């Protein structure tokens, strides 16, 4: 690996920053202490910043002259889960844990900020976005609603995530979809309650529930091409409270993932038609709502990331044929606004998976990630 020596020299300090962040995790949009800590570091580096979104922070570094505006993003939030690593720097907040490595992403961005402040040679403007609420709290949307793309004409935007299962000298770049969309649906099925002995005098909702659940399983094998990727999972069924009462209402909830916008449309339409069909068949009322939570994360400039990563980890360690993850990432919203891409940096072959109670961020990824960011900026600087 060819890491930036100007960043490597601070490795011990970076590790202690990361371990500090790890020990005091904040969840969702409530990242005010993390932001205060980052502001302190940026003040040390002489980097200016402004608040944006809800408890997100935008640092700004001007280059030597006019040029492109290039943004980089790291997320900062932790998860509501109990840490079981037993590490000396493990979470001091019961029930909260940096189980997705956003402590490491934040530190990576701080390493990059310091590098740019001390050694940056570029034209244009670099924006460093420290984002709250990635884990399903709409943090990226809050930043967009706060007019990030109106305030700044961003030419390119880049981000990264650590990825367990890959070696620390491996970087993954996807051509096209990198991570799946995530949608959530609710179906309320309303019948008419009554005594269990006389279903013919009630409108019994469970036969409709059974047909909906079964029908939903046939959408992917029968409506979606075998070449496309999608998952539909029924995750909740709620209804009834007694052995001898047919209830009025049952609620079904579920989750949909895909890496293709057209497939996403087709699944939404098919689930809606299925709900209409069971309403007709069983004379129940149905109320179907489909909420598109995260879009597909599409990389539009993977070649820039491939070139940049190759200069850090070597061409043979830049993997471009990996399947996209069926998990989602709110960075996808930024890729609807500008060009760029999102890369995975190896967190170690034996690393527990993200969101696991024994997971920990691999500190080497701070050096790899920030070095890749430096090279990504160099790549953009070479563009006409």
Residues lying near Zn ion in the complex (CB under 5 A): 100
Whole-angstrom distance, CA of residue 144 vs CA of residue 151? 10
Nearest-approach distance from CB 134 to Zn ion, in angstroms: 6
| Dihedral pair phi/psi, residue 129, rounded to 5° | -100, 115
| Dihedral pair phi/psi, residue 66, rounded to 5° | -65, 150
- Residue 100 or 172: the one with the smaller Cβ distance to Zn ion is 100
Nearest-approach distance from CB 73 to Zn ion, in angstroms: 12
- Residue 159 or 205: the one with the smaller Cβ distance to Zn ion is 159
- Residue 100 or 140: the one with the smaller Cβ distance to Zn ion is 100
Region of residue 46 (phi > 0: left; psi between -120 and 50: alpha; otherwise: beta): left
Nearest-approach distance from CB 179 to Zn ion, in angstroms: 10
- Residue 363 or 379: the one with the smaller Cβ distance to Zn ion is 363
- Residue 104 or 191: the one with the smaller Cβ distance to Zn ion is 104
Whole-angstrom distance, CA of residue 235 vs CA of residue 255? 7
Say how far residue 190 (Cα) sits from the centre of its chain: 35
Nearest-approach distance from CB 99 to Zn ion, in angstroms: 7
Nearest-approach distance from CB 149 to Zn ion, in angstroms: 22
Nearest-approach distance from CB 296 to Zn ion, in angstroms: 17
DSSP secondary structure, 72-92, as one string: EEEE--BBSS------TT--S
- Which CA distances in Å does 113 have to 72, 158, 250, 343? 10, 14, 52, 19
Closest CA to 83 of 373, 344, 271, 352: 352
- Residue 21 or 100: the one with the smaller Cβ distance to Zn ion is 100
- Residue 112 or 342: the one with the smaller Cβ distance to Zn ion is 342
Nearest-approach distance from CB 254 to Zn ion, in angstroms: 20
Which residues, 6 or more positions from 58, have their beta carbon under 8 angstroms from its beta carbon? Answer: 49, 50, 51, 52, 127, 128, 129, 130, 148
Position with the least CB separation from Zn ion: 100
Nearest-approach distance from CB 50 to Zn ion, in angstroms: 24
| Helical pair 364-381 and 102-119, crossing angle rounded to 10 deg | 50
Dihedral sign (CA 316, 320, 325, 329): positive
- Residue 100 or 267: the one with the smaller Cβ distance to Zn ion is 100
9 three-class SS: coil
For tokens 């302190």, what's the residue? 40
DSSP-derived letter for residue 208 is: H
- Residue 27 or 246: the one with the smaller Cβ distance to Zn ion is 27
CB 127: neighbour CB atoms within 10 A? Answer: 21
Whole-angstrom distance, CA of residue 192 vs CA of residue 246? 8
Nearest-approach distance from CB 352 to Zn ion, in angstroms: 13
């Amino acid at each position: 690996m060819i890491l930036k020596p100007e960043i490597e020299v601070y490795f011990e300090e970076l590790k202690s920053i990361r371990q500090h962040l790890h020990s005091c995790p904040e969840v969702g949009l409530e990242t005010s202490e993390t932001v205060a800590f980052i502001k302190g570091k940026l003040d040390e580096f002489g980097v200016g910043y402004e608040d944006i979104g809800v408890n997100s922070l935008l640092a700004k570094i001007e280059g030597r002259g006019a040029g492109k505006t290039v943004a980089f993003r790291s997320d900062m939030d932790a998860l509501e889960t109990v840490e079981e690593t037993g590490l000396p720097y493990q979470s001091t907040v019961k029930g909260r844990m940096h189980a997705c490595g956003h402590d490491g992403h934040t530190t990576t961005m701080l390493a990059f900020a310091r590098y740019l402040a001390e050694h940056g040679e570029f034209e244009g403007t670099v924006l460093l976005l420290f984002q709250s609420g990635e884990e399903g709290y709409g943090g990226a949307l809050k930043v967009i609603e706060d007019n990030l793309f109106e305030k700044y004409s961003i030419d390119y935007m880049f981000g990264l995530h650590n990825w367990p299962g890959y070696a620390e000298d491996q970087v993954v770049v996807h051509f096209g979809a990198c991570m799946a969309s995530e949608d959530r649906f609710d179906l309320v099925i309303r019948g008419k309650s009554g005594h269990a002995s006389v279903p013919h005098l009630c409108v019994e909702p469970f036969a409709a529930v059974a047909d909906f659940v079964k029908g939903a399983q046939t959408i992917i094998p029968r409506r979606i091409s075998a070449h496309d990727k999608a998952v539909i999972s029924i995750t909740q069924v709620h209804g009834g409270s007694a052995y001898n009462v047919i209830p009025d209402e049952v609620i079904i909830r579920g989750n949909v993932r895909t890496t293709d916008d057209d497939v996403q449309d087709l699944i939404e339409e098919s689930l809606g038609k299925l709900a209409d069909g069971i309403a007709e068949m069983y004379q129940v009322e149905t109320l179907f709502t489909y909420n598109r939570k995260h879009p597909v994360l599409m990389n539009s400039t993977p070649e820039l990331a491939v070139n940049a990563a190759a200069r850090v980890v070597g061409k043979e360690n830049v993997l471009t044929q990996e399947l996209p993850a069926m998990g989602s990432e709110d960075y996808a919203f930024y890729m609807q606004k500008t060009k760029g891409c999102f890369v995975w940096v190896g967190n170690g072959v034996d690393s527990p998976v993200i969101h696991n109670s024994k997971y920990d961020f691999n500190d080497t990824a701070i050096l790899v990630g920030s070095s890749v960011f430096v090279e990504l900026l160099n790549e953009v600087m070479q563009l006409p």
